[in-house]
Each structure stands twice: as structure tokens, then as C-alpha cells.
């Protein structure tokens, strides 16, 4: 049976950097192949986990082009395109469409703290001019701006706005969102640890950080929940929970990139203002990866 668009496990891809400081294109292409081979359902380049704030506009387009090329139509690509200037976000969305993206993940405007009416009009403008389906990204812990349930219900009625990545961390709000929006409007978890509880009340999956490290395992968790096999889903959730949690021991994506470097998948490189993981955190991360079996199986992956 054909999967509904933007459901299941989507991976918020990291952006690997080379020793020169440039995007490591070869490593990025390997990551895409690894994700698809493991069974993830869609890919999300140039989000928070992809360090989009420190990528240039040219780099963001190039990253998306490479992900689209390597995906080869096997899974859809949801490109990050957000910001606090509506006109610039529209331009970025158009560029992502030209790069071959199938949809946009657009974070709420940050810093200027728009009103709820401002949020509505922002997304209405994006939907009318980018030419791609849009998933709203609500992450008030980073943006200082929460999309309220009533506002999201209004936004869900805009043609072209097809879903929300809900990363408020507020489970009550997430329950209310699932109740308020149309059935066809996709509600995705923005926090790995809340994937299962959200799916239990009507969510359709997750945009995941942990699937960078454990793509097959995260995809299997989501598929079990989709099938209504919550016993299996709970068991998978319980096993993966330490990984989900350790990925946020310091600011994302610092821990996940450190983990992937330990696994031999990328070089551990960041762009300022992000810096390497602190020694205590690194030791805790290594212990979790070892317990998950990810270090011993990394070379085979």
C-alpha cells in the first residue's frame, strides 16, 4: 500500500564538513544511501540538525541538490527553508523547489516574535508563492514563538500547508493539535522521545535526530505504531530512549555528530558557534552507543 506523503520516519540529516571547512559532499552522499538502505521514509536536509544557520544560501541549495540526486526518487525530500523575513523565506523556498525538493519544512519566524495573526499570514504567504507543500515547524524552545492550537487549525486550512512538526514538548498541546486539525493534515513529532505517545493519539510519525545513528530501528518503531502493534513499538521505544535522550546532552546537533564520528560515518566537525562535545558528555555518549550496539556494528553499516 502506498504511503501517505510525509508520514513515517523522516531523518533530520546532519551536514558533514570536511577538513577544509566545506560541506563534505562524499560523506553526505554516503549518509543518504545509508538512510535509504535502512528503510527511512523521507529525508530532511538543512534543518536545525543540518546546521542550516551556518550554511550559506548556496550551500543549502547544494546540499538539497545532492540529497535529491542520491535519493533518486526512492524517498521524498523535505528541505528546510525558514527564517524571520517572510520575503526571504519565500525566496529560499523557491530555491529549494528549483533544487528538486518535494516539500518544505519551514520553522516559525524567530527573534521578531510575530503575533498569532502574523504567523497565519506568514504561512499563507509562503503557501501562495513557493510552489511546494509546506510542513510548519513549531519549536518554541528555539524560536521564542509558539503556534497555538487555534492558529494551527487556521493554518491547516490553507491550501499547500500539509502538516506540522510539533516540537513544543507539550504533550497536552500535541493532543489538542491532533484533535483540532483535519485527518489529512500530518502531525509529526519533533522530539524522538515523544514519537510513540504522539502516534498513540493520532500523530503520523517523526522527523528524527536519532535516525541519523539508528535509521532502521527508528523506522521500525514508527512502522510498529502505524500498524497498531503498540507492544512492539513500546519495546523499541524503551530500547532507543537512552539514545534519544543522550542526543540532547548538549545542543543539537553536537552530540549526534559526535556519535556519528565515533561510528565512523563522518568527521566530527562543526561551525562556530557550535563546538565539540565536552569530555564528560562524550564519555556518557560513548557508553550509550556501546550499549545500543552502534559502535561495534558501525563499520558494517
Q: Which residues are catalytic?
A: 137, 165
Bridge pairing between strands 205-208 and 78-80: unpaired
Of 55, 22, 18, 48, whose CA–CA distance to 267 is shortest?
18
- Which residue(s) pair with 70 in the sheet? none
Burial per residue of 205-233, b for 16 or more beta-carbon CB atoms within 10 angstroms, e otherwise: bbbbbbbbbbbbbbbbbbbbbbeeeeeeb
Residue spans of alpha helices (H) in the chain: 25-38, 57-71, 86-98, 116-129, 140-143, 149-156, 171-180, 195-200, 215-226, 230-246, 254-262, 279-292
Of 158, 160, 159, 205, whose CA–CA distance to 178 is shortest?
205
Place of cell 527553508: 81
Q: Could you tell me if 121 and 154 are in contact, meaning their C-beta atoms sit under 8 angstroms apart? A: no
Amino acid at each position: 500500500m502506498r504511503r501517505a506523503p510525509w508520514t513515517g520516519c523522516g531523518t533530520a540529516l546532519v551536514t558533514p564538513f570536511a577538513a577544509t571547512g566545506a560541506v563534505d559532499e562524499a560523506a553526505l552522499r554516503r549518509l543518504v544511501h545509508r538512510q535509504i538502505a535502512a528503510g527511512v521514509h523521507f529525508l530532511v536536509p538543512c534543518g536545525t540538525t543540518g546546521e542550516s544557520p551556518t550554511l550559506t544560501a548556496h550551500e543549502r541549495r547544494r546540499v538539497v541538490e545532492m540529497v535529491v540526486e542520491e535519493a533518486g526518487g526512492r524517498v521524498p525530500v523535505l528541505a528546510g527553508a525558514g527564517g524571520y523575513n517572510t520575503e526571504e523565506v519565500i525566496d529560499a523556498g523557491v530555491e529549494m523547489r528549483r533544487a528538486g525538493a518535494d516539500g518544505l519544512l519551514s520553522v516559525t519566524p524567530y527573534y521578531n516574535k510575530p503575533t498569532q495573526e502574523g504567523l497565519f499570514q506568514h504561512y499563507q504567504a509562503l503557501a501562495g508563492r513557493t510552489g511546494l507543500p509546506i510542513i510548519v515547524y513549531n519549536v518554541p524552545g528555539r524560536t521564542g514563538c509558539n503556534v497555538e492550537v487555534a492558529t494551527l487549525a487556521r493554518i491547516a486550512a490553507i491550501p499547500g500547508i500539509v502538516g506540522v512538526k510539533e516540537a513544543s514538548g507539550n504533550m497536552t498541546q500535541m493532543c489538542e493539535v491532533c484533535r483540532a486539525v483535519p485527518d489529512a493534515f500530518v502531525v509529526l513529532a519533533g522530539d524522538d522521545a515523544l514519537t510513540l505517545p504522539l502516534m498513540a493519539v493520532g500523530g503520523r510519525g517523526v522527523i528524527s535526530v536519532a535516525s541519523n545513528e539508528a535509521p532502521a530501528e527508528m523506522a521500525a518503531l514508527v512502522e510498529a505504531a502505524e500498524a497498531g502493534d503498540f507492544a512492539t513499538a513500546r519495546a523499541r521505544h524503551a530500547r532507543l530512549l537512552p539514545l534519544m535522550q543522550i542526543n540532547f546532552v548538549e545542543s543539537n546537533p553536537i552530540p549526534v555528530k559526535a556519535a556519528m564520528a565515533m561510528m565512523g560515518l563522518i568527521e566530527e566537525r562543526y561551525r562556530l558557534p557550535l563546538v565539540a562535545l565536552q569530555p564528560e558528555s562524550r564519555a556518557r555518549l560513548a557508553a550509550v552507543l556501546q550499549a545500543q550496539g552502534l559502535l561495534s556494528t558501525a563499520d558494517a553499516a
